[in-house]
Amino acid sequence: KAGVTQTPRYLIKTRGQQVTLSCSPISGHRSVSWYQQTPGQGLQFLFEYFSETQRNKGNFPGRFSGRQFSNSRSEMNVSTLELGDSALYLCASSLEASGAAVEQYFGPGTRLTVT
Amino acid sequence: KQEVTQIPAALSVPEGENLVLNCSFTDSAIYNLQWFRQDPGKGLTSLLLIQSSQREQTSGRLNASLDKSSGRSTLYIAASQPGDSATYLCAPIRGQKLVFGQGTRLTINP
């Protein structure tokens, strides 16, 4: 079974631009979460989607947004990029079990550099 | 707000040693706890998931324990090998949200 895939793997953008990152979960997984990893702040939760609905949201500005499609694939978008948005963006998927937190599987990440 | 602390921040030991990594968290109202390893510049690899109703979980040379009442988890690595060198992260889970510590950077010297 294929793992979580993320595209692109590397991205270089300029301040003020916007960017879209993509995540394909493991087949059959319906929950997709996004995390930002930086050397200073570590791993921080961005948001989680299930059945095309955002269920949880972390403490990030509105420039960070996401969506999920009917096939469970997810995208996240960052508008008006700032230097501080440079980070490794990780996507995780899990097999939702009603009422229970289940094991999450991470993709390889997208390395975003903002210049 | 959940806060997670991992001790030590870094550890360097010779090959073959048994070692213990510690994780503490402030909010015991968690569902489960997951341990991961991360190699430099890579994503996270799941090592073990401990359900909140369990106290231990084992996989090969790895054993993780969970004490929700005291807000602690430990990861025990037996007979360490150079390939175990990585950063180890613990993450209590509530809902589908993981809260991560800063990790323990482990180096196993041949």
Select the residue of A42, A48, A107 nearest B97 (Cβ to Cβ): A48
Question: Tens place of pLDDT for every residue, chain A, 115 residues?
Answer: 689 999 999 999 999 999 999 999 999 999 999 999 999 899 999 999 998 999 889 999 999 999 999 999 999 999 999 999 999 999 999 987 565 667 899 999 999 999 9
Pairing assessment for the beta strands A10-13 and A110-114 based on DSSP bridges: parallel
Select the residue of B44, B94, B96 nearest A90 (Cβ to Cβ): B44
At B72, give phi and psi (nearest 5°).
Answer: -135, 150
* Chain-chain contact of A103 with B49 (C-beta, under 8 angstroms): yes
List the single residue in A with minimal CA-CA distance to B34: A103
Chain A partners within 8 Å of B93 (Cβ): 101, 104
